[in-house]
C-alpha cells in the first residue's frame, strides 16, 4: 500500500496475530465481529493457551476505539501498526495482523473533546440507557459528548453510545494526567492489586487477561505514562534504579541464565521486598516475596517510569 490508512478497533478487544495463518479453529470466537472474548478464553485448555506463546501465534491486543495504522490488506486481514504501543520492532508502533471485520475507517473527532475512560474492571457500552451493546475493558477511552450524574454520552466508532458515569473518569486528551497524585508509584501498585487472581493471557493488554509486560504497560497507562509494550524494551528505557533505591511502582526485570541472558519477565515492585506480577500461563496475577520466589536469582535490572 502506498498510503497508510487510519482505522479504529470496533470490537471490545482485538487480538493481534503474528500472521493471518496463526489462528487455530479454536480461535474462531476471537476473530469475529462482535468478538466472543469470554467464549474464546473459556474454551481453551491450558495446552491451547500455552500454544499461543510456544507457536508464536499472538503478538498483543488492542482495545475498542483505539486508532491503528493499516499498512496492508489481504483476504479479510489487515496488517496494523499500533502507535500507542511502542516497540523496537517498528518505529510506527507494534505490528501484527487483525481480522479486517474488527476495524472501521477512523472518523474525525475534535481534538478538544474530553474523553471518557473506563476505570471499572469492565463496563458495558449501551446503545441507549436500556440496551446493552458490548462489554468494554478497563482503560477503554472514547470521546465524550455530554454527561449528567448517571450517564455519559460518547462517540463510538459506530455512532453514539452511553456509559454509566460510575464506570468512567474524564480525561483531557488521549491520556490521563498523573498530576495531583501524591505518589504515582504507589498508585501503580494499588491499580495492580485490583487484578489479583486474574488469569494470565499471552499477549494480553486488557482486563480479560494480561501477560507480564501488558500488565506493567496498562498499570502505567492509567496514570498517563506510556511505556514500551514488551519487557525487553521496557528494560532499556526509563530511569535506572539501584536495588537499594527501589520504590513502589518501579519495574523489576528478570533474565535467563541467572540474570545474564535474555530478559523474559517483568514485575512491579510493591515495597517490603514484594512484587506483584502476571507470572505465566498456568497462573494468575499474584504477589510474591522476592527473596523466596523462583525468580529471585534472575533479577537483572530495575527501571522507573513514574517520575
Is residue 299 annotated as a catalytic residue, yes or no? Answer: no
Give every CB contact of residue 258 below 8 A, 6+ residues apart in sequence: 297, 298
Q: How many angstroms from the chain centroid is the CA of residue 41? A: 16
CA–CA separation, 284 vs 298, rounded Å?
20
Which candidate in 43, 101, 212, 300 is catalytic?
A: 212
Q: For the packed helices 184-193 and 212-221, what is the interaxial angle rounded to 10 degrees?
A: 130
Is residue 212 annotated as a catalytic residue, yes or no? Answer: yes
Quick check: 150 and 164 in contact, CB under 8 A?
Answer: yes
Give every CB contact of residue 30 below 8 A, 6+ residues apart in sequence: 15, 23, 36, 37, 40
Is residue 265 annotated as a catalytic residue, yes or no? Answer: yes
Is residue 212 classed as helix, strand or coil in its secondary structure?
Answer: helix
81 closest CA partner among 65, 68, 91: 68
Which candidate in 43, 220, 264, 265 is catalytic?
A: 265
The residue to which cell 493457551 is assigned = 49
The backbone torsions φ and ψ at residue 220, rounded to the nearest 5 degrees and listed phi first, read -75, -40
CA–CA separation, 45 vs 51, rounded Å?
10
CA torsion 283-288-293-299 (nearest 10°) is 100
Active site residues: 212, 265, 277
Amino acid at each position: 500500500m502506498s498510503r497508510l490508512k487510519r482505522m479504529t478497533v470496533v470490537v471490545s478487544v482485538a487480538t493481534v496475530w503474528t500472521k493471518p495463518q496463526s489462528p487455530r479453529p479454536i480461535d474462531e470466537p476471537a476473530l469475529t465481529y462482535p468478538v466472543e472474548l469470554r467464549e474464546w478464553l473459556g474454551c481453551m485448555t491450558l495446552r491451547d493457551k500455552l500454544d499461543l506463546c510456544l507457536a508464536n501465534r499472538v503478538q498483543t491486543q488492542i482495545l475498542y476505539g483505539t486508532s491503528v495504522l493499516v499498512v496492508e490488506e489481504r483476504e479479510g486481514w489487515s496488517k496494523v501498526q499500533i502507535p500507542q504501543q511502542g516497540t523496537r520492532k517498528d518505529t510506527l508502533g507494534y505490528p501484527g495482523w487483525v481480522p479486517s471485520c474488527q476495524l472501521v475507517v477512523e472518523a474525525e473527532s475534535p481534538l478538544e473533546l474530553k474523553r471518557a475512560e473506563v476505570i471499572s474492571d469492565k463496563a458495558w457500552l449501551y446503545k441507549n440507557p436500556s440496551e446493552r451493546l458490548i462489554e468494554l475493558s478497563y482503560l477503554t477511552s472514547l470521546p465524550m459528548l455530554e454527561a449528567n450524574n448517571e450517564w455519559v454520552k460518547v462517540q463510538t466508532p459506530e455512532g453514539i453510545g452511553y456509559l454509566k458515569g460510575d464506570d468512567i473518569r474524564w480525561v483531557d486528551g488521549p491520556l490521563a494526567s498523573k498530576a495531583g497524585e501524591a505518589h504515582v508509584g504507589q498508585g501503580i501498585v494499588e491499580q495492580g492489586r485490583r487484578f489479583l487472581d486474574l488469569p494470565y493471557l499471552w499477549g494480553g493488554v486488557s482486563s480479560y487477561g494480561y501477560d507480564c509486560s501488558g500488565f506493567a504497560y496498562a498499570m502505567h497507562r492509567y496514570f498517563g505514562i506510556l511505556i514500551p509494550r514488551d519487557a525487553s524494551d521496557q528494560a532499556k528505557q526509563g530511569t535506572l534504579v539501584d536495588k537499594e533505591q527501589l520504590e513502589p511502582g518501579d519495574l523489576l526485570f528478570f533474565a535467563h541464565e541467572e540474570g545474564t541472558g535474555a530478559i523474559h519477565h517483568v514485575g512491579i515492585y510493591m515495597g517490603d521486598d514484594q512484587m506483584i506480577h502476571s507470572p505465566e500461563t498456568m497462573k494468575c496475577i499474584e504477589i510474591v516475596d522476592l527473596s523466596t520466589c523462583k525468580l529471585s536469582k534472575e533479577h537483572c535490572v530495575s527501571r522507573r517510569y513514574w517520575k
